[in-house]
Structure 1
Amino acid sequence: MIDFEYPLNERIRTLLRLEDLFARIGHFHRGDSPMDHHQVLQSIFELLEVASRADLKVDLVQELERQRQTLLAFRDNPDISPEALSGALYEIEQASSGLLSVPGKIGHYLRENDWLMGIRSRASMPGGACQFDLPSYHHWQARDPEARRRDLEGWLRPLMPIREGIAIVLRLLRASGRPEMQLAQRGMYQVMLGGRPMQLVRVCVAHRLNAAPEISANKYVLNVRFMTPEPAGRPRQVTDDVEFELTVCNL
């Protein structure tokens, strides 16, 4: 099964972009080659660009506090495991404390590093990070992998509370919806929402169906159109019925 997610507001769109960038950083950070670590730096620069567009830290702290208050209301519910509830509350409180400990604007210490910002400026150009453009960066890439990794970890460490806060908010958001099987007749599906609030739509479809959804939505209607993925040409709308799993999420 392939899971497709569609954010319905700018805040969730930003969180999903940052989640993807942190996942990319985690993947390439484990590598040893200079190209692996170049991709880590590229992803850090993209992360700074995305995070600078919103008051992300405040938004995350406020959302975590809202979820903490929601969970506290279940404290006397006999159907809720006290251990699970305490664990969730502790995780949220730790994440909030970590976010509040982040000083200033996200990544400000990176923006004050002239060496990194020089790489960022050149790397934004096609082929701009060649060794003749950035000899000091080429020298850094020639260092031992563990030495490079220590530098990367030092640059990334202050960003980890952001990653943890994003992970908790998105996990709670995804868990807020109930998956339901639906049928897109001749590749088309529409449902009226009647103003029901939602922040994220998830569509899960079997890989064997060779169908990728194009999703559009507002608070009144949700449209899903399935297209055939055509890497070598123009996508076409699926003409067969498509069975898929739909989840509408809202915190």
Structure 2
Amino acid sequence: MKAICATDLSAASEATIESETCLECLERIGVEEIHLVTVIPSNVHAGMPGMHFEERREQALERYRRVVEDAGFDVETHVVRGTPHRRINGIAEAVGASLTVVGSRGKSPLENRVIGSTARNLARTTVVPLLVNRIEREADEPDVVREHLFQRVLYATDFSENAERAFEAFSYLRHATQEATLVHVETPTDPGLPEDDDPEARLTELATRLEDWGIETRTEVRRGDPADEILAAEAEYEPTTTLVGSRGHSRLRRLLLGSVSEDIVARADGNVMLIPPNRSA
């Protein structure tokens, strides 16, 4: 299993790469090869101050390479130019990655937002599962907010095809997961299930599958705004990662695209893992 670790070489990105616990969690879910990627924006030209950006970034990535190699991974480095999220997605496809990891600072006191433009654009466009690793915001030497990436997982589902695809991520996450909370949010403005369907029964069926893997599981049906209720569940149960599909049921076909999943990525306290639809979907 291959993973992309995207970095802008900031202190926040460094926290993700140099966290031994995070690297240990990636190893547990089957990651063997890590591709370190940094993108020089296309509007930074060679004639500008800092014209040796490629060389400086290659040197920085070599330091990261040694850290990751010492943790037991095979490592490749990529210094490229272009639009960051497009180049990151392109490399993920080219190398056959199964996961992209990007670090993100914590909540902004001004905008109640946590993600920069690259992480936001990746959340909208990622072609492989995306893990947004939450980093401390107000710290000179920031650390990851929750070290054990997949120890406690909050899985949010509307029972759409993409939500089911997100649930299948437990097939490899289970090697690092001890506890799971399964949540469905009923909303009268955009119902996703037939009237005669029983969401509690469907959650119980999913819980049984996880419990067969030795994962302690709880289920909960909530009512209200999907993003608000999922975030309320996160505040209550304090998972290390919230797992969602990036598209779900909606009259506009974007209940979990932008209006919910992007909001969760923006406002969650902990890590968020987004599972995109199949490319053919």
| TM-score, normalising length: structure 1 | 0.28
- Give 1 or 2: higher strand fraction: 2
Which structure is higher in RCO with an 8 Å CA cutoff and minimum separation 6? Answer: 1
- Give 1 or 2: higher helix fraction: 1
